[in-house]
């Protein structure tokens, strides 16, 4: 049961990370986590460590890339940015998600 | 698909730089943590509080790192590497054990590989000719002999009347020799052996091949009535003997006294359906006038190979030949009635093909047994080690390792060892194969012909080896692994070893001891029986004197271009000189050597019944000079020796053997009776005299001798007076004193008279022990002996180590018993007694398996083992006793060591 739940969460987390990087440009892990928390208006309190599993996955699929850089506080940090393959993927996933969400909404309303 | 590939390549890449990736990730986490802490500080928390909160919302660093590692790298592969490293360290730690076990496996696997390689090279390879599928071999079958040869008349009939073959060729193999003075090389002295095949002109064409130099035979060549006869050299012989010098084309060689014109060179390694590459193919017109041979229905010497017409199936060809064979049987009822024809796909090695397959079956069974010993052996060792590691395994199980994980670890050890052994066995197999190859080539070199079987390992065989070793590795590690992980963790941790009382484990070990002894004893019984057989053969009294009689082979001076008159003058001079030579007691000459491998046969019947008997049996005949019986020490049972007058006038008289006398006139005295010999149409190679007489008087009966093989005496033999004009090619000299010194003196004596004659001399004992009659048996018994010894060596290692481990397991109990006052001798009895039970069980089943094995052998190779005394109880008993004794010894030493331990030491060790 919990397994199935986390599966779904995992997929959505990847999508959220992609969208965040698409919207915000290069960000480090902490920045991504913070941003998602803010957007979700703190409803989604995620364990920030899980973001890294998602980052590795996306990297391995070639949808994002990483580079070492310096943060605003002059701290060494790894910056992630979306690739063109990632943008394509985001578009597909977004459409897919909207379609499902629409269907879900209709089903639940009726 | 693409995404997956991308993921994996990325994983592989990160794995390759794992250390760096891991460092990277730690740094990233640290910076994340620092940023979180800063934020918390900004929110107004105290430094400690800020840090704690940061750590909480990030999650456990160690877990993150671990999961990152799993996600990044190749966890399965990594664990495998870990297992491999661990296994490697363990194997290195027990070096002696590792070497023993992997050697055992390597020998087992190597021997299997070698046998399979030969099988693949001989049986699995198709004939190296175009369209091998439409090439067939035609055999004459009788109830006694499935792969028989045809007469030339039968061949002509098939050739001229069939509608199913586009071409049909006949060949007649013959051991020949090349005259010393032939072609160029003056360095070689003496006649050289030459493997020749007489062929019809369409022979190469039937196989679909063409000469690589010069030209082939033309259809006119089949009808030549005078020499030189055209012939083709094999490319192998052409290279070996003439250094690939094409000037040999067009030259005439003297082959066994017949001039042969070299017209072409056959393709390299072409061997037709023969087991070796012949040196020369000669037009069959050299065998005699074609029209006369077309009438010969009695000389069965032709091997037939044919090419099916396009679209004709094997079954259609068989049906047509059946009809033709029955027509022949009706037309010539005087011939044997029960023969038939069989058409089969042509195979490499022709008639030897089936024998090879049978030999392979036997050898493969033996090799499988050896591998079984090796595997049981190694399984025993693994079991022992697993038992010794009980405590380690129990600890790992108790701290949460899964059973699968531990089994995998143990199996990895097994596979590692097996693959290592596989590689080692590869080397072993290559060595073994090249040794076999060398032996076969050397054997062929003495009789002519070239070996063309490729004995090098190929990829298929290597895969076969790897499969065997992997299967062996998994199987021998799995059993002990499963068993040793089935432990009750708490009890294993509490008290380490299994005591005398734990039956199930000791039963498995005991069973392994019994199995090893059983298989090894079976092999040794086989080896013992075969060795006895071979010794028995060599010590058989062949009925003539072999120790003090020297056999001389003298090439014909006609090959040097001597006239008949000069030849016969030389002949009488040689005879005189040999007679007068000091130390020579008697001299005789004959047309063939008993047990020399070259037998000539003819049809023999009582003269009065010759016309009426439809079936006349073939018996060996030999032309002999006057003192032949006395020189060789063959006893005359009744009658008298040939007189000089009879020899000189070529009188129609004969001496027959006891066996023949029994067959022709059972119970009657044959002296004074008359026999009929041969037939007018029988043909032989030129220079070979064939008897033909309707009435020859029997003047004496000679004792039976063994002239064909050592398994049984001749069924019958005919001795005829040697015509004085025939060249004395084969001489027998009975000497006094050292026969070995005499051989060189005799050669010198003949060379003093005529330096260009090729002469060889050896004692009959030497000739027989190296001759064809015993060679096959020798090879077989040596092979079995080697396999038996190999098996025994493996089994001894196995028994010793298994008992040693068993005893080591019981050290604690031994210590307690000794502390309680048990006697050393009593302990020894208990320890050895337990092994002895299993050893006895192994011996009993070993005898049964051994007898079964020999029965299998006897059924597969009847000609080698068709002797009544095969199952000698003495051999079986003594081999069992020796094996049992050595096994007990192997059990005794480790037991004694245990019983001598200081009990205080043993118990303190706990």
The per-residue DSSP string of B104-158 comes to HHHHHHHHHHHHHHHHIIIIISPPSSSSGGGEEEEEEE-SS-TTBPEEHHHHHHH
Positive or negative CA dihedral for B583, B589, B591, B593? negative
A32: nearest Cα among A105, A6, A84, A40: A40
Say how far apart CA B830 and CA A47 lie, in whole Å. 66
Residue B202 pLDDT level (bands cut at 50, 70, 90): very high
Q: Is B175 on the interface with A (CB under 8 A)?
A: no
Q: Is B563 on the interface with A (CB under 8 A)?
A: no
Measured between CA atoms, how close is B396 to chain A, in angstroms?
28
* Element holding B184 (H helix, E strand): none
Q: Which residue stretches of B399-502 are H helix?
A: 403-445, 459-484, 489-494
Measured between CA atoms, how close is A99 to chain B, in angstroms?
23
Give pLDDT tens digits for B142-169.
Answer: 766 666 788 888 899 999 988 899 999 9
* Element holding B593 (H helix, E strand): none
Q: Is the pLDDT of residue B805 over 80?
A: no
- pLDDT (mean) for B395-405: 77
Question: In terms of C-beta density within 10 A (0-12 exposed, 13-18 middle, 19 or more buried), how is residue B353 classed?
Answer: buried
Show the tokens assigned to B524: 């040794």
Show the tokens assigned to B731: 């001489």
Q: Quote the pLDDT of residue B384.
A: 66
CB B600 within 8 A of CB B621: yes
Question: In terms of C-beta density within 10 A (0-12 exposed, 13-18 middle, 19 or more buried), how is residue B675 classed?
Answer: buried
Q: Do A30 and B36 touch (CB under 8 A)?
A: yes
Q: From start to end of B749-875, where are the E strands?
A: 759-763
Residue of chain B nearest A60, judged by CA positions? B7
* DSSP SS3 for B610: coil
Paired with B696 in beta bridges are B675
Q: In this structure, are strands A76-82 and A27-28 parallel, antiparallel, or unpaired?
A: antiparallel
CB B667 within 8 A of CB B580: no
Give pLDDT tens digits for B368-392.
Answer: 777 777 777 777 667 666 666 777 7
Q: Quote the pLDDT of residue B611.
A: 61
Residue of chain B nearest A85, judged by CA positions? B3
Q: Do A48 and B59 touch (CB under 8 A)?
A: yes
Find the CATH number of the domain harbouring A48: 1.10.10.10
Show the tokens assigned to B221: 């060549």
Paired with B834 in beta bridges are none
CB B306 within 8 A of CB B323: no
Give pLDDT tens digits for B246-295.
Answer: 999 999 888 877 889 999 999 988 888 887 888 999 999 888 778 877 87
Give pLDDT tens digits for B355-369.
Answer: 677 777 777 777 777
B795: nearest Cα among B524, B431, B532: B524
* DSSP SS3 for B670: coil
* DSSP SS3 for B321: helix
> How many Cβ atoms from other residues are within 10 Å of residue B87's Cβ?
20
Q: Do A78 and B64 touch (CB under 8 A)?
A: no
- pLDDT (mean) for B774-793: 65
CB B870 within 8 A of CB B854: yes
Q: Is the pLDDT of residue B764 over 70?
A: yes
* Element holding B27 (H helix, E strand): helix B18-42
Q: Which residue stretches of B489-556 are H helix?
A: 489-494, 503-538
Question: In terms of C-beta density within 10 A (0-12 exposed, 13-18 middle, 19 or more buried), how is residue B387 classed?
Answer: buried
Question: Of B568-572, B585-589, B793-797, B834-838, which gets the smallest average pLDDT?
Answer: B793-797
Say how far apart CA B678 and CA B576 lie, in whole Å. 33
Q: Which residue stretches of B625-763 are H helix?
A: 628-632, 644-649, 658-664, 739-753
Show the tokens assigned to B822: 């048990």
Say how far apart CA B515 and CA B841 lie, in whole Å. 9
Cα separation of the two ends of chain B: 58
Q: Quote the pLDDT of residue B480.
A: 65
Q: Residues of B with CB below 8 A from A93's CB? A: none
Q: Is B17 on the interface with A (CB under 8 A)?
A: no
Percent of chain B with pLDDT over 90: 8
**Overall size of chain A counted in residues:** 110
SS (H, E, C) B801-826: HHHHHHHHHCHHHHHHHHHCCCCHHH
Say how far apart CA B673 and CA B696 lie, in whole Å. 8
Show the tokens assigned to B159: 């050739």
Q: What angle do CA B831, B834, B836 make, to 5 degrees?
A: 105
Residue B483 pLDDT level (bands cut at 50, 70, 90): low
Q: Count how many domains chain A has.
A: 1
Max CA pair span of chain B? 142
Q: Do B7 and A60 touch (CB under 8 A)?
A: yes
Q: Do A56 and B71 touch (CB under 8 A)?
A: yes
Q: Quote the pLDDT of residue B722.
A: 84
Q: What angle do CA B174, B177, B182 make, to 5 degrees?
A: 140
Q: Residues of A with CB below 8 A from B12's CB? A: none
Q: Residues of B with CB below 8 A from A47's CB? A: 57-59
Q: Is B36 on the interface with A (CB under 8 A)?
A: yes
Q: Is the pLDDT of residue B300 over 70?
A: yes
Q: Residues of B with CB below 8 A from A52's CB? A: 25, 28-29, 64, 68
Q: Provide the chain B residues 39-98 that lie in CB contact (below 8 A) with chain A.
A: 39, 57-60, 63-64, 67-68, 71-72
**Tokens 């002990």 appear where?**
B480
Say how far apart CA B780 and CA B366 lie, in whole Å. 12
Domain coordinates in residue numbering, chain B: 2-73, 78-125+355-496, 132-347, 499-542+768-910, 549-767
Show the tokens assigned to B296: 């010969």
Percentages (nearest 5) of helix, strand, coil residues in chain A: 65, 15, 20
Q: Mean pLDDT for chain B?
A: 78
Q: Quote the pLDDT of residue A4.
A: 35
Range of the domain at A42: 2-109
DSSP string, B362-408: HHHHHHHHHHHHHHHHHHHHHHHHHHHTHHHHHHHHHTT--HHHHHH
Show the tokens assigned to B831: 């320890």
CB B251 within 8 A of CB B183: yes
How far is the CA of B818 from the CAs of B174, B806, B891, in angstroms? 77, 18, 20
Say how far apart CA B758 and CA B190 lie, in whole Å. 3
- A60, A68, A76, A89: best to mutate for the B interface, most B CBs within 10 A: A60
* DSSP SS3 for B232: strand
Paired with B735 in beta bridges are B584
Return all residues near B499 (Cβ < 8 A) that are at least 6 apart.
B810, B812, B813
Q: Quote the pLDDT of residue B97.
A: 66
Q: Do B6 and A60 touch (CB under 8 A)?
A: yes
- The highest-confidence range among B224-238, B322-336, B825-839, by mean pLDDT, is B224-238
Query: How many residue pairs from chains A and B have C-beta atoms closer than 8 A?
Result: 64
Q: Do B32 and A57 touch (CB under 8 A)?
A: no
CB B451 within 8 A of CB B441: yes
B100: nearest Cα among B461, B424, B500: B424
**What is the pTM assigned to this prediction?**
0.58
Cα B95 versus chain centre, distance: 34
Return all residues near B571 (Cβ < 8 A) that are at least 6 apart.
B727, B728
Q: Quote the pLDDT of residue B18.
A: 64
Q: Residues of B with CB below 8 A from A34's CB? A: 39
Q: Is B11 on the interface with A (CB under 8 A)?
A: yes
DSSP string, A35-67: HHHHHTTTSS---TTHHHHHHHHHHHHTSEEEE
Q: Is the pLDDT of residue B573 over 80?
A: yes
Q: Quote the pLDDT of residue B197.
A: 92
Cα B187 versus chain centre, distance: 35
- The highest-confidence range among B434-443, B449-458, B490-499, B641-650, by mean pLDDT, is B641-650
Q: Do B72 and A30 touch (CB under 8 A)?
A: no
* Element holding B669 (H helix, E strand): none
- pLDDT (mean) for B702-706: 88
């Amino acid at each position: 049961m919990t397994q199935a739940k986390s599966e779904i969460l995992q997929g959505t987390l990847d999508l959220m990370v992609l969208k965040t990087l698409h919207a915000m440009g290069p960000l480090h892990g902490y920045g991504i986590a913070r941003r998602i928390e803010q957007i979700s208006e703190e409803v989604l309190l995620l364990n920030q460590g899980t973001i890294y599993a998602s980052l590795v996955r996306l990297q391995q699929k070639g949808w994002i890339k990483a580079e070492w850089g310096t943060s605003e506080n002059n701290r060494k940090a790894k910056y992630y940015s979306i690739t063109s393959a990632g943008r394509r993927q985001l578009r597909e996933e977004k459409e897919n998600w909207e379609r499902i969400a629409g269907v879900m909404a209709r089903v639940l309303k009726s | 698909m693409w995404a997956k590939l991308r993921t994996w390549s990325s994983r592989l890449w990160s794995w390759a730089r794992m250390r760096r990736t891991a460092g990277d990730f730690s740094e990233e986490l640290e910076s994340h943590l620092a940023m979180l802490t800063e934020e918390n500080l900004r929110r107004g928390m105290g430094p400690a509080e800020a840090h704690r909160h940061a750590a909480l919302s990030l999650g456990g660093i160690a877990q993150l790192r671990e999961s990152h590692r799993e996600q990044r790298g190749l966890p399965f592969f990594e664990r495998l590497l870990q297992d491999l490293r661990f296994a490697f360290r363990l194997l290195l730690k027990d070096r002696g054990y590792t070497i023993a076990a992997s050697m055992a496996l390597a020998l087992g696997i190597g021997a299997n590989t070698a046998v399979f390689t030969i099988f693949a090279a001989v049986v699995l390879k198709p004939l190296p000719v175009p369209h091998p599928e439409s090439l067939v071999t035609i055999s004459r079958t009788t109830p006694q002999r499935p792969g028989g040869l045809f007469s030339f008349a039968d061949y002509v009939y098939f050739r001229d009347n069939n509608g199913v073959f586009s071409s049909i060729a006949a060949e007649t193999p013959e051991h020949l020799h090349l005259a010393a003075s032939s072609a160029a090389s003056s360095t070689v002295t003496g006649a050289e052996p030459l493997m020749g095949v007489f062929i019809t002109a369409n022979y190469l064409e039937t196989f679909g091949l063409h000469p690589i130099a010069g030209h082939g035979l033309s259809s006119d060549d089949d009808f030549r009535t005078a020499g030189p006869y055209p012939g083709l050299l094999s490319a192998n012989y052409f290279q070996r003997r003439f250094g690939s010098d094409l000037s040999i084309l067009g030259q005439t060689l003297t082959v066994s006294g017949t001039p042969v014109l070299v017209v072409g060179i056959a393709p390299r390694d072409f061997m037709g359906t023969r087991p070796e590459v012949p040196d020369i193919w000669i037009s069959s017109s050299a065998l005699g006038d074609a029209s006369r041979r077309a009438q010969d229905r009695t000389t069965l010497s032709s091997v037939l190979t044919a090419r099916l017409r396009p679209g004709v199936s094997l079954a259609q060809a068989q049906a047509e030949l059946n009809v033709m064979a029955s027509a022949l049987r009706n037309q010539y009822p005087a011939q044997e009635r029960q023969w038939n024809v069989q058409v089969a796909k042509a195979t490499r090695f022709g008639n030897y093909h089936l024998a090879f397959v049978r030999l392979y079956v036997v050898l493969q069974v033996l090799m499988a047994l050896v591998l079984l010993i090796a595997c049981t052996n190694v399984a025993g060792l693994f079991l022992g080690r697993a038992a010794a590691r009980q405590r380690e395994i129990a600890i790992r199980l108790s701290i949460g390792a899964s059973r699968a994980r531990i089994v995998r670890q143990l199996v990895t050890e097994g596979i590692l060892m097996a693959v290592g052994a596989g590689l080692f066995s590869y080397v072993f197999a290559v060595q073994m194969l090249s040794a076999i190859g060398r032996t076969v080539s050397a054997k062929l070199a003495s009789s002519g012909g070239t070996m063309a079987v490729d004995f090098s390992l190929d990829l298929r065989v290597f895969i076969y080896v790897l499969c065997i070793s992997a299967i062996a590795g998994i199987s021998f590690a799995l059993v002990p692994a499963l068993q040793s992980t089935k432990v009750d963790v708490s009890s294993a941790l509490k008290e380490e070893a299994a005591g005398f009382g734990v039956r199930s484990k000791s039963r498995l070990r005991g069973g392994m001891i019994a199995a090893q002894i059983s298989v090894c004893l079976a092999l040794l019984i086989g080896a013992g029986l075969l060795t006895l057989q071979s010794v028995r053969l060599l010590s058989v009294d062949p009925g003539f004197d072999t120790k003090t009689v020297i056999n001389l082979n003298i090439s014909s001076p006609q090959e040097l271009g001597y006239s008949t008159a000069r030849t016969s003058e030389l002949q009488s001079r040689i005879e005189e000189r040999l007679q007068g030579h000091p130390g020579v007691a008697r001299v005789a000459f004959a047309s063939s050597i008993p047990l020399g491998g070259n037998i000539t046969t003819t049809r023999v019947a009582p003269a009065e019944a010759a016309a009426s008997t439809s079936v006349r049996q073939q018996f060996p005949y030999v032309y002999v000079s006057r003192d032949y019986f006395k020189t060789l020490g063959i006893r005359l049972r009744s009658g008298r020796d040939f007189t000089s007058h009879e020899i000189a006038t070529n009188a129609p008289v004969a001496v027959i053997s006891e066996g023949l006398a029994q067959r022709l006139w059972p119970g009657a005295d044959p002296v004074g009776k008359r026999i009929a010999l041969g037939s007018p149409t029988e043909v032989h190679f030129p220079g070979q005299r064939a008897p033909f007489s309707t009435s020859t008087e029997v003047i004496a009966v000679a004792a039976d001798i063994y002239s064909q093989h050592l398994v049984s005496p001749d069924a019958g033999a005919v001795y005829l007076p040697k015509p004085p004009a025939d060249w004395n090619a084969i001489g027998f000299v009975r000497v006094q004193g050292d026969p070995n010194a005499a051989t060189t003196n005799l050669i010198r004596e003949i060379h003093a008279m005529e330096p260009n004659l090729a002469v060889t001399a050896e004692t009959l004992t030497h000739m027989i022990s190296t001759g064809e009659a015993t060679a096959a048996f020798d090879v077989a018994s040596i092979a079995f002996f080697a396999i038996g010894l190999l098996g025994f060596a493996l089994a001894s290692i196995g028994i010793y180590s298994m008992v040693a481990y068993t005893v080591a397991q019981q050290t604690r109990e031994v210590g307690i018993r000794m502390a309680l006052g048990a006697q050393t001798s009593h302990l020894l009895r208990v320890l050895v007694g337990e092994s002895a039970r299993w050893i006895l069980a192994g011996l009993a089943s070993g005898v049964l398996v051994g007898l079964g094995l020999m029965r299998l052998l006897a059924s597969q190779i009847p000609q080698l083992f068709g002797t009544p005394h095969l199952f000698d109880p003495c051999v079986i008993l003594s081999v069992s006793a020796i094996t049992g004794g050595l096994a007990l010894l192997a059990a005794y030493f480790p037991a004694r060591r245990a019983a001598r331990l200081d009990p205080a030491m043993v118990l303190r060790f706990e």
